[in-house]
């Protein structure tokens, strides 16, 4: 005769209490009600005050102003824009400018950051000290200070376009910005791009195939000669057949300024320089910490398996270091994007500068404009953190944790 285990009582009241009030039970519910009442009261106060204030200032609330003409010019635009375009277009122009300075800054920051990290990790005493000095000085100065330093001191001290500094005769730096040759599409552009795209796709497929062969059959396939041929040889061959894909128009000094070439405004140069060198100092520390976090035994284990030093680094150390490096690295990328809003201090036409600055002072629609600006940045950072949590989940799954 077996006695069946009694079912636990359903305890529905207890569960409801737990869901509604947490561990604190009915006290928690009471606290929540009081809290909700306070929040509601604050919200009511804000709304009623904002209404009264807007009425006093004769400002119509709502997003209708976005369709009005902006009536001011922006000195760097990626899409066509004139003063008679709408505020919505100003918003897009500013957003694109923010994104372009962020992307360029991120590329340079990563490059400089990895170089400085390698310097700091170098067995060479002098070089590691140089890296350390760089990191300490850059990290302990405000980023706005550095932006203003580059803009007001360094770039302003450069000579005027007539005496500009020439970089190998193709690019010129002056206090009016950086002038670089601009590419002009030639006859061979279309086939060149097609072949290049094909080469990239084929190289990726080859790599996929090689990895599958390695993981499933243990077969090592050497693919780099083919990849090189696909990525470099094939485009070169097309160039020989169809002619040059594009020619460069060199800037020429005419009168007081340059004609031809594309001009990069000094604000952009200063902002990119400051943001990338500043963020690079933080990236360098992250990379260094990541590589140091891999235990020394991993390197030794790789060596005892007969792997070369390069192969050990590539296959054993770097993948483990990346796990530590990537999350804070994305954080730094995000910081750089957010710091690009300091453009407003030097007048680079980014989102904050043209939208939350100029448009705000022209229309007076403070609530809508600042909400939109904050919303965009919030969206970017929430997207990034969502991607990061997926990444973290994948990494922890692949490690079997």
Partner 1 sequence: MNDIASSSFVRRDLLAERPAPVKTTGFVGLMRTRLFNSPTNILLTVLGALLLWFTIVPSVRFLMVDAVWSGKDRAACLTENVGFAVGACWPYIQAKLPQLIYGFYPEAERWRVNLTFVLAVVLLVPLLVPRLPAKGLNASLFFVAFPVVAFFLLHGGGIKGFGLSWTAGLLELFDDSIIGAGQALLDLSKTSAVGPLLWVVGNFVVLIGTAIHWLILPLTWLRDQIQAAGQSVWADFAVTAVIVSLIAFGLGGGLRTGWRALASSIVAFVAIAAVIKLMGLDSGGLPVVATNLWGGLLVTLVVSVTGIVTSLPIGIALALGRRSTIPLIRIFSIAFIEFWRGVPLITVLFFATYMLPLFLPGNFTVDGLVRALIGIALFTGAYQAENVRGGLAAIQRGQGEAAAALGLSWWKTTSLIVLPQALRHVIPNLVNSFISLFKDTSLVSIVALFDLLGSLRASFSDPKWSTPSTAFTGFAFAGIIYFIFCFGMSRYSLFVEHRLNAHRRN
Q: Are residues 257 and 84 in contact, defined by beta-carbon separation less than 8 angstroms?
A: no
Among 31, 165, 170, 292, binds partner 1 (CB under 8 A): 31
- What DSSP assignment string belongs to 144-180? HHHHHIIIIIIIHHSPPGGGPEEETTTEEEETTEEEE
The distance of closest approach from Cβ of residue 152 to partner 1 in the complex, given in angstroms and rounded to an integer, is 5
Strand partners, 257: 254
Task: State the Cα–Cα distance between residues 385 and 354, nearest whole angstrom.
Answer: 27
Nearer to partner 1, 35 or 72 (CB): 35
Contact flag: residue 23 with partner 1 (CB under 8 A): yes
Non-local (6+) Cβ contacts of 35 within 8 A are none
Instruction: Tell me how far apart the alpha carbons of residues 157 and 174 are, in angstroms, rounded to a whole number.
Output: 9
As measured in angstroms, the least distance from the Cβ of 175 to partner 1 is 12
Nearer to partner 1, 137 or 204 (CB): 137
**Residue 298 backbone dihedrals phi, psi, to 5 degrees:** -65, -45
- Considering beta carbons, is residue 196 or 313 the nearer one to partner 1? 313
How far apart (Å, rounded) are the C-alpha atoms in residues 17 and 1?
39
**51 to 90, contacts with partner 1 by CB under 8 A?**
52-54, 56
Site for partner 1 in 149-168 (CB under 8 A): 149, 152-153, 156-157
Among 367, 388, 391, 395, binds partner 1 (CB under 8 A): 367
- Return the range that interacts with partner 1 (CB under 8 A); candidates 9-17, 179-187, 214-222, 365-373: 365-373
Choose, by CB under 8 A, the member of 26, 44, 224, 393 that binds partner 1: 44
Rounded Cα distance between 37 and 48, Å, is 16
Least distance CB 250 / partner 1 (angstroms): 30
Rg (CA), the chain: 29
**Rounded to whole angstroms, what are the CA distances from 90 to 261, 344, 366, 399?**
26, 15, 16, 47
- The footprint of partner 1 on residues 93-132 (CB under 8 A) is 122-127, 129-130
Residues that bind partner 1 (CB under 8 A): 19-24, 28, 31-32, 35-36, 39, 41, 44-46, 48-50, 52-54, 56, 122-127, 129-130, 136-137, 139-145, 148-149, 152-153, 156-157, 338-339, 341-342, 344-345, 352, 356, 360, 366-367, 370, 373-374, 377-378, 381-382
């Amino acid at each position: 005769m077996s006695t069946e285990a009694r079912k636990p009582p359903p305890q529905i009241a207890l569960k409801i209490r737990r869901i509604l009030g947490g561990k604190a039970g009915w006290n928690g519910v009471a606290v929540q009600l009081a809290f909700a009442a306070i929040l509601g009261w604050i919200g009511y106060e804000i709304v009623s005050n904002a209404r009264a204030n807007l009425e006093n200032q004769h400002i119509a609330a709502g997003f209708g102003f976005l369709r009005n003409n902006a009536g001011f010019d922006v000195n760097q635009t990626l899409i066509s824009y004139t003063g008679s375009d709408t505020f919505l277009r100003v918003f897009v122009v500013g957003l694109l400018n923010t994104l372009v300075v962020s992307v360029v800054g991120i590329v340079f920051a990563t490059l400089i950051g990895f170089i400085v990290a390698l310097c700091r990790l170098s067995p060479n005493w002098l070089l590691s000290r140089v890296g350390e000095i760089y990191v300490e000085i850059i990290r302990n100065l405000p980023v706005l200070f550095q932006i203003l330093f580059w803009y007001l001191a360094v770039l302003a001290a450069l000579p005027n376009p007539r005496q500009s500094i020439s970089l190998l005769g193709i690019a010129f730096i002056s206090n009016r910005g950086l002038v670089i040759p601009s590419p002009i599409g030639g006859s061979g552009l279309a086939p060149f791009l097609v072949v290049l795209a094909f080469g990239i796709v084929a190289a990726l497929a080859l790599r996929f195939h090689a990895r599958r062969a390695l993981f499933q059959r243990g077969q090592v396939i050497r693919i780099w000669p083919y990849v090189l041929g696909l990525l470099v040889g094939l485009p070169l061959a097309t160039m020989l057949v169809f002619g040059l894909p594009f020619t460069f128009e060199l800037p020429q000094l005419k009168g007081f300024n340059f004609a031809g070439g594309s001009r990069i405004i000094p604000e952009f140069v200063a902002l990119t320089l400051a943001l990338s060198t500043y963020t690079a100092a933080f990236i360098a520390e992250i990379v260094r910490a990541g590589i140091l976090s891999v235990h020394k035994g991993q390197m030794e284990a790789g060596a005892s398996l007969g792997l070369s030093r390069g192969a050990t680094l590539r296959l054993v150390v770097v993948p483990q270091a990346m796990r530590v490096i990537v999350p804070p690295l994305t954080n730094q990328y995000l910081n750089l994007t957010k710091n690009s809003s300091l453009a407003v201090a030097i007048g680079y036409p980014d989102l904050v500068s043209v939208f939350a600055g100029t448009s705000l002072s022209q229309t007076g629609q403070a609530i809508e404009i600042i909400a939109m600006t904050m919303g965009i940045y919030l969206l970017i950072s929430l997207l990034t953190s969502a991607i990061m949590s997926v990444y973290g989940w994948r990494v922890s799954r692949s490690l079997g944790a």
